Structure 1
Amino acid sequence: MSFFDNLFHKNQFISNDESRILLLSMREIHDLAAYCLLYEIEDVTYNMDKVDIIGLANSYDLYFFRKVYYLINSVTRSTILAKSLTPQLSPFSVEKEYELFFPIFNFFSELFLLQSIKGWRNKCQKAACYISEVWEHQIYKRKSLLEFLKDFDHIFLGVRNSTEVITKLTGKPCTYVPPAVDVLKFAPHSLSSHRGIDVCGIGRRSNITHKALLELAEKRKMFYYYDTMKTSSDVKYGKKQITFRVKNYKEHRSLLSNILKRSRYAITNRANANEPYKTGGKEEFGYRFFEGAASGTVMIGVPPATKEFTKYFDWEDAVIPIPFDAPNIAETIAELDAQPERLARIRKDNVVNSLLRHDWVYRWQEILETVGVEPTEQLLERQAKLRKVADELQQLPIAN
């Protein structure tokens, strides 16, 4: 056993005899709460397709080796030399043949991990990847990582604003595919179920809005659910968002779905609303819009001012707009509380539209159609189940 072997845990490999698709997952590499949504598509896909999953083992030297790669490339100006001289991270050799190789990346820098997968291009008829978060300024800063995209037939991004630059720099077709959720997990059992949480405010937040909600909770004995971990939404002095890690991403997703299904309102803002410098000033979706809509909560916050958001959330009152810093949020909640029929309609519209449009099955079908791979019977069955639930809800009268 070599010195480097001692640095790593073993890779995970979930295999089925009839698998036609090979997924590469980051679930063993990164355990941030913010990334758990993306691991959900892997589980949904596994249950409705014939899939093998590689879970690369974590290593405490992952970031060090990536810096080594950057350094070698910077000195030699050669991505080929950088790839060959950088130590291998828990290498995995693809032995079976597949119709499609599909890595799913949380962010741009994870492309570096492709150097650990050996033989994927020769063993897979087609290859495409999904990168959830990549901002244009990051691409130009780390252009050497584009070398890892050269063998893909198609690239899918979870953000709209970077598709053109990726296509321009790689010569590969690039398509925007927004996030989604496991709607069957997030949807409430009944539209009239009791919602014991008055306001849910988790993740990135405005300190001003948070203070106003804390005061409202004290005055009205309202149940305001919020994070108590150390966070920062004030970037004036260079502070950065601090997130948290989870032990089990499935348990975290289940807990989050149960919280939102029991929340009357949820604060929901565009991606990186408290750190706009991270996006280069570009506005994009946040995951919480899809989670909130599927759960039937009433979303209040700052949606992105983009045509994509209008396209995917085009029903009335999908989000009740308020400023990011909303010291008068109590007035907004009081006005909404005085309109119970409107709130009931919003809950119903949110869930129904999510069932028909924002489950992962629809994103996976779009990806398969784009790369020319036929859908499975299980995929069509899941769509039929979602439509059936949506039809049943649409038949119900709007109840306060």
Structure 2
Amino acid sequence: MHDLVPAPWNGVIYEFMDVVRRMEDATLVAPVVPDPYNRSFWKNCRKTMRNTLGRLLALAAMPTASEAPRTEVEGDFDLTFYACQFPHEIREINCVPGWRKRTRKACIFLLETWSRDVEKLRQHYRHLDMFDHVFVFNAGSVPLIQRHTRTPVTYLPTAVDTLLLPASRYTVSQRCVDYVCIGRRLNRVHGRMLELCGRDNRFYVFDLWRGMKAKDWDAVRLQNADLAARARHYVVWKPVKGTGAAAETTLTTRYFEGASSGAVMIGSTPDIPEFKGLFSSPEAIVNMPTDPDRTADFLEQLEADADRYAAIARANRLDVLSRHDWAHRWAEMLAVLGLASSPGLDARLAELRRRHAVESGAEPHLIEVRLPAAMPVAAPTLAAASAMASASSPVSAAPPGGLHNAIPGTLSGALPGTIPGDAALPNPEPAQARQAH
């Protein structure tokens, strides 16, 4: 849904699909959609009316009309992997007629599944019966969703493209941004941080706009990663849905992005059981006081303890390299589906282990990463569909440089298979090259 809804949350699935494409010999199949930045006045009016109607129908658990055009796909596949953000997008995969008859196995990764909304959206969850396995990233919703589908449902946290930029790209002295906050923030603490930064000549980067739309997802990913890699502190607050006893929280992708960056994460820890199993350090996130009068003392005490400061950042980075890259999630999915690992996946996991060994035993500024030689590509036999995939033609091969804009589509390739040269490891091209793909 990237071209239709080029909103910030869709970048998570775009990144996952891009990493998968780099590991597997894959062909992206996606509907052609209009340019969302080139709409006439009346087209914008129709789009607004359709979106409003869609939200009303979603509240009533009624089907909505799809914007994804019918897309014909030829060939048979071992696996179809579909990913989307919201329950009402589950059935968008049907824009590819007959897709289920031509794939041996199918799975879906569904991101936003708040427990309090499962019952009222139950009609959407019944479409999950099309798949062999369902992965969701909100663990608390698993038993509730399972009531509305015959398909097994498994918790799968999100992750990060750990190798997009190494944390070692900048030394501590080169981390020129004092605080980075992308996404949600606690306004009373945010206001106090602005005051302190103005007083102490600190550099604080945070979101200024609402309703943002991405024109180039590769550029968005690279900018966010580079910004985090230049930061000393990465501010992340837990999401909360509802209030009081009914309040629910989950572990968002921002935690993995912050851990991967080599910055110290500050903010709030999600109070959910699965969090403790994902990070080894008890201080993976240093909890900030919510009283703004205590903000200055908190920041001063944290930075005064250099050894503690370095240990937190180091432990988080090593955690991500060892278990929170998208390759780790892909490996988990293949294991659940009973599919063998591919040479491309094995190559990326090996690079992650190598990077972990280097970063755990060397000074960060001494780490040097080299690209491996190109690897052969096998014949396509995998299909992966994403509500976050798009291409310039109904059926097109994904270029070696990366997966481009996204919408309900299909990624096809080899399982097992290998990856073209730049994907074999995983260190990305320079910014200019990536943006030109």
Q: TM-score range by the shorter chain?
A: 0.7 to 0.9
Taking structure 1 as reference, are residues 268 and 87 closer, same or farther at Cα in structure 2, changes over 3 Å only?
closer
Q: Aligned pair in 2 of structure 1 residues 175, 341: CA closer, same or farther (>3 Å)?
A: same
Residue 292 of structure 1 and its aligned partner are, at CA, apart by 0.2
Check the 8 A contact 1:135/1:279 in 2, yes or no: no
Counterpart check, 1:389 vs 2:355: yes
- The one-letter code matched in structure 2 to 1:311 is G
1:7-46 pair list within 5 angstroms: 26-46=1-21
Moved more, 192-201 or 203-212: 192-201
Q: Classify the secondary structure of the residue corresponding to 1:169.
A: coil
Please state how far the C-alpha of 1:344 moved relative to its aligned partner.
Answer: 1.4
Tell me which residue corresponds to 2:197. 217
Shift of the 88–200 alpha-carbon distance from structure 1 to 2, 3 Å rule, reads closer
- Tell me which residue corresponds to 1:120: 99
What displacement does 1:66 show?
9.5
Q: Name the counterpart of 2:24.
A: 49
Q: State whether residues 153 and 173 of structure 1, in contact with CA within 8 Å, keep that contact through their aligned partners in structure 2.
A: yes
One of 222, 233, 250 as aligned partner of 1:254: 222
C-alpha contact 2:83 2:110 (8 A) present in aligned 1: yes
Aligned 8 A contact 2:58 2:88 in 1: no
- What is the Cα deviation at residue 323 of structure 1? 3.6
Which residue of 160, 175, 179 maps to 2:154? 175
Distance 1:280 1:56 in 2: 40
Letter of the 1:49 counterpart: E
CA separation of 1:96 and 1:66: change in aligned 2, threshold 3 A: farther
Q: CA deviation at 1:38?
A: 1.9
Q: Determine whether 1:347 maps to 2:326.
A: no
Pick from 158, 183, 186: which aligns with 1:206?
Answer: 186
1:285 — aligned with what? 251
Pairwise CA distance, 1:251: 0.5
Structure 1 unmatched runs, 5+: 1-25, 230-241
CA, structure 1 residues 371+337, in 2 after alignment: closer, same or farther (shift >3 Å)? same
CA distance in 2, matches of 1:71, 1:65: 10
Instruction: Name the SS of the counterpart of 1:95 in structure 2.
Output: coil
Residues 110/254 of structure 1: CA separation in 2 closer, same or farther (3 Å cut): same
Deviations 1:191-246 (A, max 9, x none): 734210111122111110111111101110111111222xxxxxxxxxxxx44211
CA contact (8 A) 1:97 1:124 kept: yes
The residue type paired with residue 111 of structure 2 is S
Q: Which has the higher contact order (CA 8 A, sep 6+)?
A: 2
1:269 to 230, 234, 237: 237
Distance 1:258 1:150 in 2: 40
Name the stretch that deviates more: 208-217 or 146-155: 146-155
Identity of aligned residues (%): 27
The separation in 1 between residues aligned to 2:244 and 2:85, in whole angstroms, is 15
Offset of residue 324 of structure 1: 4.4
| Contact preservation (8 Å) 2:137, 2:156 | yes
Q: Which moved more, 1:28-37 or 1:94-103?
A: 28-37
Q: Structure 2 regions of 5+ residues with no counterpart?
A: 35-42, 366-437
The aligned length equals: 353
Q: Does 1:91 align with 2:70?
A: yes
Match of 1:143 in 2: 122
- Counterpart of 1:55, as a letter, is A
By how many angstroms is 1:270 displaced? 1.3
In the superposition, the TM-score normalised over structure 1's length comes to 0.81
What amino acid maps onto 2:24 in structure 1?
D
Report the equivalent of 2:400.
none
AA partner of residue 220 (structure 2): H
What is the aligned counterpart of 2:283 among 317, 341, 352? 317
- The alpha carbon displacement at 1:337 in A equals 1.1
CA contact (8 A) 2:79 2:105 kept: yes
* Cα gap change, 1:197 to 1:376, in 2 (>3 Å): same
CA separation of 1:95 and 1:280: change in aligned 2, threshold 3 A: farther
Q: Which segment drifts farther, 55-64 or 198-207? A: 55-64
Give the alignment partner of residue 372 of structure 1, picking from 316, 338, 341: 338
Deviation, structure 1 residue 115: 3.1
Q: Residue 8 of structure 2 aligns to which amino acid in structure 1?
A: A
Question: Is 1:64 aligned to 2:47, yes or no?
Answer: no
> 2:85 aligns to what SS in structure 1?
strand
In structure 2, how many angstroms separate the alpha carbons of the residues matched to 1:278 and 1:43? Answer: 39
Whether the 8 Å CA contact 2:73–2:96 is kept in 1: the answer is: yes
2:419 corresponds to which residue?
Answer: none
The code of the aligned residue for 1:64 comes to: R
Larger mean Cα displacement after TM superposition, 64-73 or 189-198: 64-73
In structure 2, relative to structure 1, the CA distance for the partners of 1:155 and 1:223 (3 Å cut) is: same
Contact 1:368–1:375 (8 Å) recurs in 2: yes
Q: Does the 8 Å contact 1:296/1:348 carry over to 2?
A: yes
Matched AA of 1:253: R
Query: In 2, distance between residues paired with 1:72 and 1:251?
Result: 32
Residue 332 (1) aligns with residue 298 (2): yes
8 A Cα contact 1:269 1:303, kept in partner: yes
Residues 132 and 157 of structure 1 are in contact (CA less than 8 Å); yes or no, is this contact kept in structure 2?
A: yes
Query: What is the SS of the residue equivalent to 2:74?
Result: coil
Pairwise CA distance, 1:341: 1.6
Contact 2:289 2:295 in 1 (8 A): no
Residues 139, 94 of structure 1: CA spacing in aligned structure 2 closer, same or farther, 3 A cutoff?
farther
- Computed over aligned residues only, the root mean square deviation of the Cα atoms, in angstroms, reads 2.8
Give the TM-score taking structure 2 as reference length.
0.74
Q: Secondary structure at the match of 1:150?
A: helix
Secondary structure of 2:147 counterpart: helix
